[in-house]
Amino acid sequence: MADSSFDVVSKVDKMEADNALNQAKKEIEQRYDFKGVGASIDWSGDKIMIKADTVERVNAVLDVFQSKLIKRGISLKSLDAGEPYPSGKEHRIEATMKEGIDQENAKKLNKLIRDEGPKGVKSQIQGDELRVSSKSRDDLQATMALLRGSDVEVDLQFVNFR
């Protein structure tokens, strides 16, 4: 019997992220505490640019955006927000949506599967994803449960289960 396998990936649905940003933008335009403070959130290429006149307000805009991401089912592990920095009369935060599993985290996951996973489960790094294979589908499901409970800095999805 052939090996069963699945891929561990970290992807963000661009449309959902865009919808969350648009919802946050609408809320910022309507909320009383953001009137006249130059608060805004927009795409700037692949980055998300958050602007306001004070550090507290720019952090409040980031909180609004994070709440919209959660409502849209996007993990906050996928959002990489920098520290607020002054730029002229306003403060800014640059944020990005993380895609793919970097080499360091892939190695951590690989080691975790080898050390704590069921015997007979093999994993290999393929670019920015991880392929996990085994003869037993039950072992693969146990491995999925192990990875869900692991403490890594990326949001994991499991695809191509065959």
Residue 127 amino acid letter: G
- CA dist 134 and 123 (Å) reads 9
**Going from the N-terminus, what domains does the chain have, and what CATH number goes with each?**
4-11+101-159 (3.30.70.860), 14-97 (3.30.70.990)
- pLDDT tens profile 129-160: 889 998 888 888 888 888 888 888 888 888 88
- First-to-final CA distance of the chain: 12
Stretches in the chain below the pLDDT threshold 70 = 1-2
